[in-house]
């Protein structure tokens, strides 16, 4: 079962995406702080990491580097509010107005793309 890491510092903003991804059959890990995200990354591979717009830019970029260093094949989604600066490690950018269903579609697309690369 693919593992999805959702990182955001405002719990209320992660509830719907977490529920949508779990209902789609994904193993979802929610991290509500930099430290929790670091522990989740160290605990084992993830297939997709999604960083919410509530994660400060500096934390988002450091965590993206950590997850890419640990698991080079991970796909990264960065959800932005106003700025898309320093998002070079992102495989996808999504506005903060993205619905949980749109996030699910992006995750499905990334996992399908990863599977076709491995085949």
Do 31 and 6 contact (CB within 8 A), yes or no?
A: yes
How far apart CA 4 and CA 25 sit, in angstroms, is: 11
- Residues 72-95: pLDDT tens digits? 999 999 988 766 666 777 877 787
Q: Where are the domains of the chain?
A: 3-118
- Residues 52-68: pLDDT tens digits? 989 998 899 999 999 99
DSSP E strand boundaries for 22-103: 27-31, 48-51, 75-80, 92-95
Angle at 42 between CA 57 and CA 21, to 5 degrees: 70
Q: Which CATH superfamily groups domain 3-118?
A: Response regulator (3.40.50.2300)
- Residues 34-51: pLDDT tens digits? 999 999 999 999 999 999
* Stretch (H or E) spanning 89: none
- Model pTM? 0.80
């Amino acid at each position: 079962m693919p593992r999805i890491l959702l990182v955001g510092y405002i719990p209320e903003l992660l509830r719907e995406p977490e529920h949508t991804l779990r209902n789609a059959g994904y193993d979802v890990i929610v991290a509500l702080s930099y430290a929790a995200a670091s522990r989740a990354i160290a605990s084992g591979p993830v297939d997709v990491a999604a960083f919410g717009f509530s994660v400060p830019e500096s934390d988002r970029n450091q965590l993206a580097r950590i997850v890419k260093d640990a698991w080079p094949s991970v796909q990264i989604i960065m959800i932005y509010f106003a700025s898309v600066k320093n998002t070079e490690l992102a495989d996808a950018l999504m506005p903060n107005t993205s619905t949980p269903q749109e996030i699910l579609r992006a995750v499905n697309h990334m996992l399908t793309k990863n599977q076709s690369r491995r085949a």
